[in-house]
Amino acid sequence: MKSLLPWIEPLGLIMLLLTLVLGIALWRRRWRWAALIALPWLAYSITTCTVVSSVLLATLEEPWMNSPVKDAPVCDVVVSLGGTGEPSRNELIGFALGRGADRLATSIELTRTGKGQALVLGGGGYTFQDGVMRSEADAAKAWIDSWKVLSAPVLSLGICSDTHDEAVKVAALAKEKGWKRILLVTSASHMRRARACFEKEGLQVESAPCNYLSSISRGEKIQWFHPPHHAGSENFATWMHEIIGWRVYRWRGWV
């Protein structure tokens, strides 16, 4: 029964429906319809049922796999980029951890072990039903402060629109505080663009990559084919986001 579950969940049902419609079109020799259906069926199959998405994402993560975070140098400050979670009035800690929560955990541990004199938190904003936008970084700071796990100060960048905005705000804060060297914490797949962005603002950057999302990078057993799974589409979306993001940032002169 457990092996059948993926096929009765939304992704599996969509795959079965596409396969059924494609089969009917081929059986009735509706070649044009079959060709139109075959394109989304093929794209859907490759991204959700094969190792291709993990392979693509691993190309972004691989350059950082020989950079153990435990060997990161001591810097003036640890900077954690957003994407770690979002404010939530229903959670006990007032903060809902997300797919990038490793960024937050890694940043806290690096600061706790003396890799920086302070921890700076970035992140976006989230609008609740009352129409008020709340800061991811403010919510994370409140949670860290409540646990009292750090003796170093924790600073929030407030609501940032993107990685470039985080870089600009950190550069201004570094100038004010006299920081020269930052330890940048973000997902390995995002590190290339993030590091280039911060260096463009004149900061000396050391990398602390984490949050490896590809099963290949994590060293899991490779499954060449498997039932439809949301991780495949999420990995493909992450890879595509970084590929497009790099080109957009370069066009804007941010990297």
**176-234 tens-digit pLDDT:** 999 999 999 999 999 999 999 999 999 999 999 999 999 999 888 888 888 888 889 99
- Going by their DSSP bridges, the two strands 119-121 and 181-187 should be labelled as unpaired
Model confidence over 58-90: pLDDT tens digits? 999 999 998 788 889 999 999 999 999 888 888
Measured at the alpha carbon of residue 91, what is the angle toward residues 87 and 97, in degrees to the nearest 5? 55
DSSP 37-99: HHHHHHHHHHHHHBSHHHHHHHHHHGGGTT--GGGPPP-SEEEE-S-SEEE-TTSTTSEEE-T
This prediction's pTM: 0.89
